[in-house]
Amino acid sequence: MRKVVVFVGWMSLLSVGLCSVEAKGEKKEKSSVKKEAFGKTEDGLAVERYTLTNAVGSTAKIITYGALLTELNVPDRDGKLGDVVLGFDNLKDYLAEHPYFGATVGRVANRIAKGTFTLEGKTYKLAINNPPNTLHGGQKGFDKVVWKAEPKATPDGPSLELSYVSKDGEEGYPGTLTAHVTYTLTNDNALRIDYTATTDKATPVNLTNHSYFNLAGTKTGDILDHELTVFATKYTPTDETLIPTGEIKPVQDTPFDFTKPRRIGERIDRLKGEPGGYDLNYVLTKDKKEPTLAARVSEPKSGRVMEVLTTEPGIQLYSGNFLDGKLKGRGDVVYKKHWGFCLEAQHFPDAVHHERFPTMILKPGETYKQTTIYAFKTK
């Protein structure tokens, strides 16, 4: 393997880990990682964008701000590449308020009730950024910081490792946490995301990716005709602020039952409350060391199929309920209600308050590990 650095005007392109891998029935390509400038934050920190291209020509684009996935181009049944994640053309829009498009969220993804928790006899207070609760790490979670990036070549495909050190007391959380997130775009068209973290004090940790998917393409309309299967027979009911009650209930005879393939929009009008739609955590069979199939989504027009495999005990289905047409994405597309869906592999929301839930507490000497794979094919 070799590294080649090419400078083109204002933009530097770094091509890493070139390899020639022949995929059955596909044109032979060279996999690569290319780097370019993507602007600066308001406090002057440079942000980079990396493009991962696999051996069959699919691409994933990731920026160091928020360790964020901005584009994911995979083929439809005719072999035509199309972007399947919602996002923006420029850094300015990512710096403004948006619903976590493509972001790595933490230190604790999802909600913590009333923005407070007690650990080892001490009470910690967090920012209330989703009243009356804390959401996705607080006011300045992992989605709003600049990560360090290191491109890598792997036998499976091009890879990018991002790292961030969250200092003791950041957003109210105890302990200095060192986090790593690695994206690998495999040569068989899977986006694999590996997470690790270590700490010097006991602290809650729950990392996930918050991409909004639309398998028909981000310019095509809502996702209500996507066919979804979730391989879970139970879920965690919530109160009106989306905090789990602590119960674990069966999905049978509820609109939440996707144990057999169903259109996302088939029973969405049966869901009570505003703004209407799915936003709940499914209980997977158990916390496994190896990624296990958690969900499958297919889109009839494009023929794209996405399977989600994870090591996590839960997965959050969100149907883009709060997209309201106020945000304009790539190519000036207006993102309306239900324009994308999320499948966020995670520990259960508010687990710090529920002993029955799998613990999200990481202690010194331990290593947090999580792997989630979004695998694409066609039918």
DSSP letter string, 123-166: EEE---SBTTBEETTSTT-GGGSBPEEEEEEETTEEEEEEEEEE
Q: Is 210 a catalytic residue?
A: yes
Is residue 117 assigned to a domain? yes
Q: Looking at residue 285, what is its pLDDT?
A: 82
Domain ranges, residue 231: 105-142+199-378
The H-assigned helical ranges of the chain are 91-95
On the 0-12 / 13-18 / 19+ scale of CB atoms within 10 A, 41 is middle
Is residue 109 assigned to a domain? yes
CATH of the domain at 117: 2.70.98.10
Buried b (16+ CB within 10 A) or exposed e, 315-336: bbbbbbbebeeebebbeeeebe
Q: What are phi and psi of 45, to 5 degrees?
A: -80, 130
Q: Looking at residue 288, what is its pLDDT?
A: 67
Entry pTM: 0.92
Is residue 172 assigned to a domain? no
**From 136, 210, 226, 354, active-site residue:** 210
**From 48, 170, 344, 347, active-site residue:** 344
DSSP 196: E
Spatial distance between the Cα atoms of 179 and 349, rounded to a whole number of angstroms: 20
Q: What are phi and psi of 196, to 5 degrees?
A: -140, 155
DSSP 170: G
Is residue 258 assigned to a domain? yes
Q: Is 344 a catalytic residue?
A: yes
Low-confidence ranges of the chain (pLDDT < 50): 1-26
Q: Domains in the chain: how many in total? A: 1
C-alpha distances (whole Å) from 307 to each of 7, 116, 204, 295 are: 38, 35, 28, 6
Q: Looking at residue 272, what is its pLDDT?
A: 79
Query: What is the separation, in whole angstroms, between the first and last Cα of the chain?
Result: 35
